[in-house]
Structures are given as C-alpha cells and as structure tokens.
Chain A
Amino acid sequence: MTIATAYLETDQLVKRFGGVAAVSDVSLSINKGEIFALLGSSGCGKSTLLRMLAGFEVPTSGRILLGGSDIAAMPPHERPVNMMFQSYALFPHLNVSDNIAFGLKREGMPKAQIAQRVAEMLTLTQLQDFAQRKPHQLSGGQQQRVALARSLAKKPQLLLLDEPLGALDKKLRERTQFELVNILESVGVTCVMVTHDQEEAMAMASRIAVMSQGRVLQVGTPKEIYEHPNCRFVADFIGNVNLWEGTLDVDAADCCEVKTAHGVVHVGHGISGTLGMACAVAIRPEKITISKTRPGLVTNLFSGTVKEIAYFGSYNTFIVEMPGGGAVKILEANTSRYDGGDITWNDAIFFWFDETAPVVLTQ
C-alpha cells in the first residue's frame, strides 16, 4: 500500500448566506484517484460544499487547494473540474455526441481530435448506438451515462457528482452504481460525490464524510463509519441503531461498563473517560440475538416482550419492549426458509449481544 497524498484539500472552508453558515470550517483532504462521498440529509451543507468546489459559489473564507494551487477564486469555466449534475442537466437541443463534445469545443480542440475523444467516451459508457439521439429520446439510465461521458470528456482533474443515482429507480440504481464505480476507477479520476443515500455512499465511496448543519462530523471508510461511529448523530444517521443513554460505571484499558436504564452493558473497549460521565451505548440491531429460551452464559443478557414483527423477506425486524420502558430493535436474518416462525406477538423473549457489539459514544 502506497502512502496516500492529499490531492484536493479544503482548508477551513466557510460559506455564509446572509449571516447563516451553510458550511462551517470544513477541512478535508482527499487523495488522488479516490471516490469521496459527502453524506448528509438535505440542508446539511453538502451541496453548497460541492458547488464551492465547482466554482458556482465563492467561499466566504478558507482555501480550496487542487494539486497544490488555490482555486477558490477561479470561475467555474476556468477550473479543471467538471460536474455531473443532479438530474444530469443535459442540453435538450443537442444530441448525445454534441452534448459530450460541448466542453471540448470550448477548449478549441481540433475537430478530428474532438471526434476521436467523443468516440472514446461513447465506447466507455456504451452509448455508441445512441450518438445521434436527443436526450429526451433516452431512458433515465442512458441519460445518466451521457451526463457521465460529458463530464469526463475534458479529462478533469476532479470530478464532482451531485446525487449521481438519485434520479434512477431502485433496481436500476443498484446495477448502475457498480457500473459507475467501474468506469470511474478505470479512468482513475478523483471524485467527490454528494448523496443523501447512505447505501449509495457506502457502495461507491472509498471514504465518506458525514455532514450535519454545515459541519463534518466524521470522515472514514464505510466500515469505520458504520462500526465505529464517533457520535450519536453518525451512529443514528448510518443504518439502524439502538441508543441507550447511561453513565460510565467502569473504565479500564480494554473494557468498560455503562449503567443504563435497562441494566449494565459490558463493552469490549475502553474509552478513557471519567467515571460517572454521561454517555450512550450504541448497538446495531443485527448484532443482537433473540430467542424464547434463556441462553447459557452470555455477557449482555436482557429480556422483553415482542411488540412488533415486520417481515422483509431476507430478514425479520422485531420491536421488543423492555421492562424498564423503552424499546429495542432487533434484526434477524432469515437464513432458512423456515426461520422466524416460532416468535410471535407478545411473546416473552431473551435477547443478548457480545461485548464487541456495542460502541460507547460520548459526543
């Protein structure tokens, strides 16, 4: 593994709209060839950040360094940055070839070279048969590939993707996201994508920045973000989670105990905090085992009553009410066609999880 060097850096980037900070103090470093995702719900500032990278918004303060030079004040048409727009923004009066050639013509590239580059892009995105079509004659998936071809045609140093799969329906989205990643990796372009869809971010990006209220809360690989969230917001935003509030009871180098309303939770990692401090235990629903019979020796064992059961085909979700009040969500994979039949509504059950399952959150 080579040592990654930052290719794109944002340095304390701030954008205010009339006193309201849309982006506050964002410092990120993104490596060459990386697919980096900005993930957050609408209004979190991810789109403003992307528009600053593209040049459509001028930062209130801070720097944007691309390959070492500050581009923050450069207008969009001079930046070596291209964007694939949300719902594509294809030029409706131009056919596929002319859409792809638009940026190349602005560079003043010779005609023969343009034709060659357009042909390359059409092959890359498998659009050879549609070169003469107008955008409205294409399906959503084809339009998305035209948008990709158009944004890659100028060989940008940085490619920005604004909700790249947002306009596609679910089935197509799953297939397209792998195609898209394959194309991006074959070209080797550095990408920053914006999405509100965590599955999209996790499937496509090598690293994710989770944003909320204009700030970046955590940056990490999809696995780091999911398994080691650094705060309640990230834990709750990515996937499903049970958050139990409590106080720190025992804190050692490699384990700790948190006293919650439902009982003491044993956690397999230390947090180097102070005893008695408020914290939360985060447990993913799929890491909890559920059974009607009491198990043998397990660390974190609790009991409750089944209130809701939802069947999703590949898994079941149980909402279990606990004696002290509050509910816990438990996921159980349907590994066999005859699974999950024995637990039903209002059953008294036991559930437990390993001490490696929970994460203690102090933020």
Chain B
Amino acid sequence: MTMKALLSPAKRFVIGVPYVWLLVFFALPFLILLRISITDMGASIDPFTPLLDRAGDSWRLLLKPQNYLPLFTDGVSGFGGTIYIQAYQTSLKYAALTTLLCLAIGYPFAYFLARCKPSVRPALLLLVMLPFWTSFLLRISAWKGILADQGVLNNLLLWLGIINQPIVMLYTDVSMLVGMTYVYLPFMILPLYTNLVKMDMRLLEAAHDLGASRFKAFWLITVPLSKAGIVAGCMLVFIPAVGEFVIPSLLGGADNIMIGRVMWDELFSSNNWPRASALSVVMMLLVLVPLALYYRYKDRTVE
C-alpha cells in the first residue's frame, strides 16, 4: 500500500506540518552546521566561504575536514590531551552525575506519587511542574542566595552551631550539580511517574504470594518493568545536561569547563565558527551513538 492509500489529506497535513517544521528548523540548520564545520575560512574569516571554487577551467572542492583535528590533538600534549577532550569528559561526567542524582531522587518520588490515592495525585503532580511557572534564571539566582558563603544555608548551619565557618559551596562542583539536578528533576519524575502509575499491582501481590519479600518484589518486578521509564527519564536528563551552558556559567566554578562554555568561547571570543561547529557535531555523535546502540539492543530483546 502506498502512503496515499494509507493517509487521508487531513492526516497528511497534521503529520506534515511538524515534519516541515523539523526539516526547516532542525535538519537544515544541522546541515549548515555540518557545512561550516568543514569550511576553509581562509584569511577572510568568512564561515560561509563557498565550498566550490572555480580555478581556471576546473572546479575545486574547498573542504577542510582538518577542522576536526585540533579537537583531538594540539601537537603539545599529544592525542586526547586537548582542552576540548577535557571539556567533553567534564560534560559527560557531570551529565552522568546529574542523571544519577535525578534518578536517585526522582525514582522514590515518582514511586510514591504513583502509589498515592488517585484523588491527590493531580495536585502532587502539579507541584512537580510548578517550578516551570517561574523564570529559569530567577530560580538559578535563588540558589546563589542559598549556597553563597553568607547565604541561607551557611547562616542556618552557623546558627545551629553545626559549623564554625562558612562552607564554600557556590561556584563549585557541588553548586553546579545542585543546580543541574534541581532543574532537570521534573524531566526524570514525569516519565517515571507515567510508567509506574500503569503498573499492575497484582503482579506485586503475585510476587509476595510466591515468597518474595517487599524489597525483592520491588527489585525483581517493579524495577525491571519500569525500565522504559528509567531509560526515558535518563535520556531526557542526560542529553540536554551534556550541552548545558547556563547553569555551569551561573553556578559552576572556573576549574571544570563544560563543552557548552567552550563552544560559546569559540563562537563569540575566537570567532572560530568552523571549530565551534565541529565541536557541536562531535557532541551530537557522543550522545546519538549510545542512543542508537541502545535502541538496536532493545528492538532485539523485545523479540
């Protein structure tokens, strides 16, 4: 059967509009990005230098895939020792830590939310989404007030006599992780909740009946059955966290530069568009390849 036979004009329109949108505003910009990443800017420093050049009678292809080389080696510290590789590693590390923290906090939260009386669930769910109603920057700034040396938390601990002098928390890994976990937590909770709330409670009864303790039933039944929710939540947190720019620059320290910051510098300070583009392409591959592998594995195991 052809597409025409399958879809009525109305359906084609409804499906077509978002596709056109994605094509124009995602696929096309990505191709431009790809093109810039292999452009030879030359002396004119023009990222849109034509890729084709006419030299005499023949056409010349002006591609410079070498733009990617400096990402991996700088000639001094050898292969892999560049600031870019370090930034990638830092980004992946903090994205992974953020994901783990969100999972550790979000899973129990979503679990008990799903086990609540159905009448109170909508209210509790609303509270999870409530932070979205205030400005993102405002919320991050609020954390500055809490975590600063003379901030709410330090003052409280001093007052309680738990510490004698303020703990330095702001502009460290801690404050950055707190901020990232705080911002991304709802993206972990919501898919986990939708998964856990559908869980058939009789399966847990069946597990108890067959001799599983409460913990065993949770570990052997609830956790495996919520795998789809765990994966979805982790993807929703990990992928944007890798490229996160705002939170590290507002709450992070100077030591751990993440890849988002490096791209910003390349683009606006060094005006090196091809390198910034190359960095983006590599980052995308870093995120997409594991994702693709996971989906291939999943398709096979479902069979």
Residues in A lying within 8 Å of B, measured CB to CB: 54-56, 75-78, 81-83, 85-87, 89-93, 102-103, 106-107, 150-151, 154
**A-B pairs with beta carbons under 8 Å apart, 18 shown:** A54-B205, A55-B208, A55-B209, A81-B209, A83-B206, A87-B202, A89-B206, A91-B206, A91-B207, A92-B203, A92-B225, A102-B207, A102-B220, A103-B210, A106-B211, A150-B210, A151-B209, A154-B210
Q: Which A residues lie within 8 Å of B216 (CB)?
A: 106
* A87–B206 alpha-carbon span in the complex (Å): 11
Q: Which of A54, A85, A107 contacts B211 (CB 8 A)?
A: A107
Contact flag A77-B202 (CB < 8 Å), given A92-B225, A93-B224: no
7 A-B pairs with least C-beta separation: A103-B210, A106-B211, A89-B206, A89-B202, A76-B208, A93-B224, A77-B211
Q: Which B residues lie within 8 Å of A55 (CB)?
A: 208-209
* A91–B221 alpha-carbon span in the complex (Å): 7
Closest to B213 in A: A77
* A86–B206 alpha-carbon span in the complex (Å): 11
Smallest beta-carbon distance B215→chain A, Å: 11
Contact flag A85-B202 (CB < 8 Å), given A92-B225, A93-B224, A93-B225: yes
Q: Which B residues lie within 8 Å of A102 (CB)?
A: 207, 210, 212, 220
B225 in contact with A83 (CB, 8 Å)? no
Contact flag A54-B209 (CB < 8 Å), given A85-B202, A91-B203: yes
Q: Which A residues lie within 8 Å of B200 (CB)?
A: 89
A76 in contact with B209 (CB, 8 Å)? yes
11 more contacts with CB within 8 A, not counting A54-B209, A55-B208, A102-B210, are A76-B205, A77-B209, A77-B212, A77-B213, A78-B211, A83-B209, A85-B206, A85-B209, A89-B206, A90-B206, A106-B216
* A93–B212 alpha-carbon span in the complex (Å): 16
Mostly, the A contact residues are mixed
Smallest beta-carbon distance B299→chain A, Å: 15
Q: Which A residues lie within 8 Å of B212 (CB)?
A: 77, 102, 106
| Per-position binary interface string of chain B over residues 152-187, scored 1 when its CB falls under 8 Å from any chain A CB and 0 otherwise | 000000000000000000000000000000000000
Q: Which B residues lie within 8 Å of A151 (CB)?
A: 209
Smallest beta-carbon distance A155→chain B, Å: 12
Smallest beta-carbon distance A82→chain B, Å: 6
Residues in B lying within 8 Å of A, measured CB to CB: 200, 202-203, 205-213, 216, 220-221, 224-225
B209 in contact with A82 (CB, 8 Å)? yes
Smallest beta-carbon distance A109→chain B, Å: 10
Q: Which B residues lie within 8 Å of A107 (CB)?
A: 211
* A216–B117 alpha-carbon span in the complex (Å): 32
Smallest beta-carbon distance B298→chain A, Å: 13
A154 in contact with B211 (CB, 8 Å)? yes
Closest to A78 in B: B211
Q: Which B residues lie within 8 Å of A75 (CB)?
A: 208
Closest to B202 in A: A89
Smallest beta-carbon distance A1→chain B, Å: 34
Q: Which A residues lie within 8 Å of B213 (CB)?
A: 77
Q: Which of B203, B205, B210, B221 contacts A56 (CB 8 A)?
A: B205
* A326–B218 alpha-carbon span in the complex (Å): 59
* A90–B209 alpha-carbon span in the complex (Å): 12
A89 in contact with B203 (CB, 8 Å)? yes
Contact flag A103-B202 (CB < 8 Å), given A92-B225, A93-B225: no
Q: Which A residues lie within 8 Å of B208 (CB)?
A: 55-56, 75-77
* A77–B210 alpha-carbon span in the complex (Å): 6
Closest to A106 in B: B211
* A184–B244 alpha-carbon span in the complex (Å): 62
Smallest beta-carbon distance A37→chain B, Å: 20
Q: Which B residues lie within 8 Å of A93 (CB)?
A: 224-225
* A102–B209 alpha-carbon span in the complex (Å): 11
* A75–B211 alpha-carbon span in the complex (Å): 10
Contact flag A103-B203 (CB < 8 Å), given A91-B221, A93-B225: no
Closest to B225 in A: A93
B210 in contact with A82 (CB, 8 Å)? yes
Contact flag A106-B210 (CB < 8 Å), given A91-B221, A92-B225, A93-B225: yes
* A107–B202 alpha-carbon span in the complex (Å): 21
Q: Which B residues lie within 8 Å of A82 (CB)?
A: 209-210
* A76–B224 alpha-carbon span in the complex (Å): 22
Q: Which A residues lie within 8 Å of B205 (CB)?
A: 54, 56, 76, 83, 85, 89
Smallest beta-carbon distance A198→chain B, Å: 25
* A262–B45 alpha-carbon span in the complex (Å): 111
* A298–B47 alpha-carbon span in the complex (Å): 112
Q: Which A residues lie within 8 Å of B211 (CB)?
A: 77-78, 103, 106-107, 154
* A82–B205 alpha-carbon span in the complex (Å): 11
Closest to A134 in B: B302
* A113–B60 alpha-carbon span in the complex (Å): 74
* A213–B113 alpha-carbon span in the complex (Å): 34
Smallest beta-carbon distance B147→chain A, Å: 42
* A54–B210 alpha-carbon span in the complex (Å): 11
Smallest beta-carbon distance B293→chain A, Å: 21
Q: Which B residues lie within 8 Å of A89 (CB)?
A: 200, 202-203, 205-206
Smallest beta-carbon distance A301→chain B, Å: 55
Smallest beta-carbon distance B96→chain A, Å: 26
Q: Which A residues lie within 8 Å of B207 (CB)?
A: 91, 102
